[in-house]
Structure 1
């Protein structure tokens, strides 16, 4: 499907990706079966569906966080719109929102800065997650950001300091994952990775 402007001129999503100054309303009106993010008023197409390994890592992290934090936090996972401003809409892999801050939730998504966002790296999103989103999430005052490498099982924990993130800790293997912002978090990356089966790559003939 295409995209309809108020002047009844139709533009495809491909055309919109060349434009700037787009807003949430522009973003929300696109209905072509693809997923997008809105970055500084510019439309960015998300990569194809994440790998099975990626999704299993997301699930295992979510499960481990929920085990100790579910009573205090809502845990949401992609696709969910995190509306940081009228020109900035992101879709992190995992999002935590304290139950005392439910006012930032709406049927549109999360409207404002959540307490924690988590991105699971993939080759197609490496630069976006480690450079673009690092800047975007810091600018939006999200207090904590995790970047997880799903093959090695390494978790990088970034904590907001004024207007930028600092790498606060790196967790792997049996090291206990903790958070200075979210005291209920307590798990190890071994607990996550040990539940990930070996997934073989298969070429489509």
Structure 2
């Protein structure tokens, strides 16, 4: 998502997140509020294609997990509870397998998989701040999608569920498989547009 304004004049909480006007979208990380600007068309195409891959897979009979597309709020149990929570994020794609984490306001607790598609304004937030947030709160799997270089970085927790393993990288020529859904294979040629040949 794009970001075009930051509020850090005080510590913001989940209560602020709930009370901002509906036509304004904000995320709160470490009590700092980041206003979300409209994403680019290509960003939305990639998000839509990835969402469809997961939605089609999860619509198969017997699947209990659900996938959500932004705007869909996520807060975490490990942070201070209820309206004192200084974290409220809206990942591009969120996969949740524990139905008790799903509320009318979004997800309270750790999703099983989160996908963020980079925008120039938010790349450092997604790569550094959100990675740390998701790791500390036990998000099993985190994908960072780079539309410019057509690469997906896949991170997932170690056996102790305490830290992300070293990133694995997948390019447009690869197939990526979610750790949590080993039977789902996504050909990245179907996700990233064909690049125009130079010459």
TM-score bin (small chain) = 0.7 to 0.9
Q: Distance in 1 between matches of 2:15 and 2:9?
A: 17
Name which of structure 1's ranges 171-180 and 112-121 shifts more when overlaid on structure 2. 171-180
Which residues in structure 2 correspond to 1:77-92 (within 5 Å)? 77-84=69-76, 85=79, 86-92=85-91
Q: Specify the SS of the correspondent of 1:167.
A: coil
TM-score by length of 1: 0.79
Q: Helix, strand or coil: the match of 1:90? A: coil
**1:74 equivalent in structure 2:** 66
What are the ranges of 5 or more consecutive residues in structure 1 without an aligned counterpart? 1-13, 199-205
Q: Following TM superposition, by how much is the alpha carbon of 1:58 offset from its aligned partner in structure 2, in angstroms?
A: 0.3
Q: Which residue, out of 7, 24, 32, partners 1:42? A: 32
Deviation digits for residues 161-196 of structure 1 (CA, Å, limit 9, x no counterpart): 3433223421122322113322232111111124x7
Q: Once the two structures are superposed, what CA deviation does each residue of 1:18-62 show, in whole Å capped at 9, x if it has no partner?
A: 101x3212221121632111112232222x200000000000111
Which is worse superposed, 67-76 or 50-59? 67-76
- Cα deviation code 1:59-113 (max 9, x no counterpart): 0111122232333231101111001242211110001112xx1111111111110
CA change 1:62–1:32 in 2 (3 A) is: closer
What are the equivalent positions in structure 2 for 1:107-146 lying under 5 Å apart?
107-146=104-143
Tell me how many residue pairs correspond in the alignment.
Answer: 180
2-structure distance, mates of 1:174, 1:65: 20
Distance 1:154 1:164 in 2: 22
- 2:8, 2:31 within 8 Å by CA — same for their partners in 1? no
Please give the TM-score of this superposition, normalised by the length of structure 2: 0.82
2:141–2:154 CA contact under 8 A, matched in 1: yes
Larger CA Rg, structure 1 vs 2: 1
Q: C-alpha root-mean-square deviation of aligned residues, in Å?
A: 2.2
Q: Which residue of 2 aligns with 1:6?
A: none
| Alignment match of 1:63 (pick from 31, 52, 62) | 52
User: 1:7 maps to what in 2?
Assistant: none
Asked if the contact 1:65–1:186 (Cα under 8 Å) also holds between the matched residues in 2, the reply is: no
Please, which moves more after superposition, 140-149 or 30-39?
30-39
Structure 1 residues 16 and 66 mapped into 2: Cα distance closer, same or farther (>3 Å)? closer
Greater relative contact order (CA < 8 Å, ≥ 6 in sequence): 2
Rounded to whole Å, the distance in 2 between the matches of 1:182 and 1:168 is 18
Aligned to 1:106: 103
CA distance in 2, matches of 1:74, 1:137: 18
